[in-house]
Amino acid sequence: MKIVLAKLKDAKDIAKVEMNSGYWHDKSFDALQNSIKLLKDKKETVLVAKEKDNTIGYISFKKIGNTADLGFLAVLQEYQRKGIGLALTKASIKHAKKLRCKKIILSVNKYNLRAINLYNKLGFQVTKTEEKRLGKKRYVKLVMEKTL
């Protein structure tokens, strides 16, 4: 497995990973448009995990001032629990440091325990909770941070 910076041609593969990671998406979520938007945004760093030519995971973060804001992280279901999510997050931390970020932040659904466990493992700490609304649905997000 190798982790490399994503290119625009990875858009379809990234969308496939996102839709096959077991994450719940709102009906209106367009995975391909989302990945194209990410890859075209100069402030975003997008990394992909590849096994031979197969894209099996991805992560993205946006540099805002001295902060890296982690956006998406997903691993194909059949490749989960093999350390790929951890490796992608560690690679983001390394890239964020290279970009002179001082802090890395993210927001995660309170019930997404597999992601929360992963972030805890890397030393992220919960700094606040936020209540969000998506249509009629209400959900609680944890904001987590790590100083770099």
Nearer to ligand COA, 11 or 92 (CB): 92
Residues that bind ligand COA (CB under 6 A): 21-23, 73-75, 80-86, 108, 112-115, 117-118, 121
Nearer to ligand COA, 85 or 101 (CB): 85
Minimal CB distance residue for ligand COA: 85
CB of 10 to ligand COA, least distance (A): 17
Nearer to ligand COA, 100 or 123 (CB): 123
3-class state of residue 21 by DSSP: coil
3-class state of residue 97 by DSSP: helix
CA-CA-CA-CA torsion sign (109, 6, 97, 76): positive
CB of 23 to ligand COA, least distance (A): 4
CA-CA-CA-CA torsion sign (110, 114, 118, 121): positive
Nearer to ligand COA, 2 or 81 (CB): 81
CB-based contacts of 47, cutoff 8 Å, min separation 6: 3, 4, 5, 6, 58, 59, 60, 88, 91, 92, 95
CB of 12 to ligand COA, least distance (A): 18
Nearer to ligand COA, 35 or 85 (CB): 85
CB of 137 to ligand COA, least distance (A): 17
> What is the DSSP-derived secondary structure letter of residue 82?
S
CB of 91 to ligand COA, least distance (A): 12
CB-based contacts of 103, cutoff 8 Å, min separation 6: 66, 67, 68, 145, 146, 147, 148
